[in-house]
């Protein structure tokens, strides 16, 4: 069946329908990872977005147990070519069947290189995937321009508090759309992880007397999370060690008066270089974000810049002065990798040991 990807600037790509055939409107973003497509599909940070995979062949090892959450989150999926005959000893299904089961519409046969160049040159824009060959651009374009991602953190967070057993340290994980590998990385280091819904009050977490607090990744515009930011400020005023990733990094900065801004086309992929300003060493990182912290708006007496993106100089991490708080924009829990920065979890463990 034919399918069409229509961008808000009027550009139309024709391809073949994959997944379900319902119409979809979403923000179109691209990911440059060469592998890990299942982790991308199950990353809650993609809620409210449709993902373009720049690598030309997707699905060649099928669906494996490597899911970062219980379901898929992107609104749509856009690929150059979808593998119909996956081969892997862990394979238990195809991408096509997975998309149908998850009710995700998609399109293949698109020139993803040309599409990505448009998004890089003009910036991230909204788009529609449709199988209607009689589409009307005059009707569709206004709908695309009116689309906003909205409040997606409330959609991806857990419904209720739950505990993942461990032995050494008690960690409170604020779930703004947390990937499974965050809790796994903590459990591997001997932590008992209590996962809290995003709207949990600071008082409840402080009362539980955790050894450390983890602020997770998540989707959407961080400045819309007003009530969450207020609770994070309360958490930061305690002496409890805090480690924050991605959205958590942005929310902590906002709690201390800094500003965030939308990147032209975001950082999404497994090959982004970040520089540790304390050592000069560069690490390859996994990233998935469309917003960044404007370090120029941060009070320099509050936090010092810890990491920057080598490609564009944007902020990638902060150390809070006089506090046991550090935050990073990239993903040290990256799965399937790279694993250059997993040491940041060890640093968090050392911070908690200091309180014992």
Q: Which residues are catalytic?
A: 246, 331, 333
Distance CA 19, CA 160 (A): 31
Q: Which of 146, 128, 112, 131 is nearest to 50 (CA)?
A: 128
Instruction: Provide the 3-class DSSP secondary structure of residue 210.
Output: coil
| Strand ordering across the sheet containing 315-320 | 162-164, 191-197, 169-175, 212-215, 242-245, 325-328, 315-320, 303-309, 259-276, 282-294
Distance CA 37, CA 67 (A): 10
Q: Which of 73, 94, 72, 75 is nearest to 83 (CA)?
A: 94
- b/e 127-164 (16+ beta carbons within 10 angstroms → b): bbbbbeeeeeeeebbeebeebebeebbeebbbeeeeeb
């Amino acid at each position: 069946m034919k399918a069409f990807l229509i961008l808000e600037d009027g550009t139309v790509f024709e391809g073949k329908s994959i997944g379900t055939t319902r119409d979809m409107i979403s923000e179109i973003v691209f990911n440059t990872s060469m592998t890990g497509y299942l982790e991308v599909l199950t990353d809650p940070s993609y809620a409210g977005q449709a993902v373009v995979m720049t690598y030309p062949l997707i699905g060649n090892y099928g669906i494996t147990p490597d899911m970062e959450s219980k379901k898929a989150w992107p609104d749509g999926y856009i690929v150059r070519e979808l593998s119909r005959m996956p081969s892997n000893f862990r394979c238990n299904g195809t991408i096509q069947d997975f998309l149908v089961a998850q009710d995700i519409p998609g399109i293949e046969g698109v020139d993803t290189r040309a599409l990505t160049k448009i998004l890089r040159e003009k910036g991230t824009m909204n788009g529609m995937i449709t199988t209607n060959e009689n589409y009307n651009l005059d009707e569709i374009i206004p709908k695309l321009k009116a689309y906003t991602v909205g409040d997606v953190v409330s959609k991806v967070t857990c419904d209720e508090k739950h505990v993942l057993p461990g032995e050494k340290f008690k960690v409170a994980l604020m779930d703004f759309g947390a990937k499974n590998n965050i809790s796994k990385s903590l459990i591997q280091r001997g932590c008992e992880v209590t996962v809290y819904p995003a709207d949990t009050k600071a008082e409840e977490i402080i009362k539980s007397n955790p050894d450390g607090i983890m602020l997770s990744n998540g989707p959407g515009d961080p400045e819309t999370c007003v009530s969450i930011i207020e609770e994070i400020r309360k958490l930061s005023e305690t002496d409890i060690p805090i480690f924050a990733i991605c959205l958590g990094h942005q929310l902590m900065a906002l709690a201390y008066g800094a500003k965030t801004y939308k990147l032209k086309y975001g950082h999404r992929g497994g090959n982004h270089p970040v520089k540790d300003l304390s050592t000069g060493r560069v690490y390859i990182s996994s990233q998935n974000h469309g917003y960044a912290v404007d370090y120029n708006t941060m009070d320099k007496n509050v936090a010092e810049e810890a990491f920057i993106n080598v490609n564009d100089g944007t902020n990638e991490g902060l150390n809070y002065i006089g506090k046991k708080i550090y935050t990073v924009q990239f993903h040290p829990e990256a799965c399937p990798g790279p694993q250059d920065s997993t040491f940041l979890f060890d640093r968090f463990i050392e911070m908690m040991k200091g309180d014992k």
